[in-house]
Amino acid sequence: MGILAHDVVLSSLERQLLRRATECRKKAYCPYSRYPVGAAVLASSGRIYEGCNVENVSFGLTCCAERVAIFNALSCGERRIKKIAIVGREVESCGACRQVLQEFGPRAELLLLSVRSNGRKAFSRKTVPEILPFPFKRFRPER
């Protein structure tokens, strides 16, 4: 299907996630960085939700594609993320996205596809504990 080299083994569902993240990347609003990123999450219900990065001139108000996709799923009633595909030039989630992934998909698998400007692609597969080994834990007040 053209997303990756033939030696990368992906399930049809994983290929669908990468395709949807690739398509959603085209919708990114990134006039300041010119760095479009797309994401697609697989929720525990089996539904897929998409997101792209949305920038703002006040950079602190910018939201990454991963969080947009996760928040999209959450706003539809989902509470658990099983997998997330992220497609961009050089894919590496920021700390905020890693922490959000930890809260809603602590054992989620990440499919990371970097699409370089020369057309070369690099794929990697990671887990949330690999990218965030020391997360903040949920606060549980003593009774």
Q: What is the pLDDT of residues 63-72, one digit of tens each?
A: 999 999 999 9
Q: How is domain 12-131 classified at the CATH fold level?
A: Cytidine Deaminase; domain 2 (3.40.140)
Strand, helix or coil for residue 89: coil
φ, ψ for residue 55 (rounded to 5)? Answer: -95, 165
Full-prediction pTM beyond 0.75?
yes
Maximum C-alpha span of the chain: 58
User: Does 66 participate in catalysis according to the annotation?
Assistant: yes
Catalytic residue, candidates 66, 78, 90, 103: 66
Q: Which two tokens stand for residue 20?
A: 């949807």
Quote the CA–CA distance of 39 and 23 in Å, as a whole number. Answer: 9
* Domain residue limits, the chain: 12-131
pLDDT of 3 above 90? no
Quote the CA–CA distance of 140 and 134 in Å, as a whole number. Answer: 17
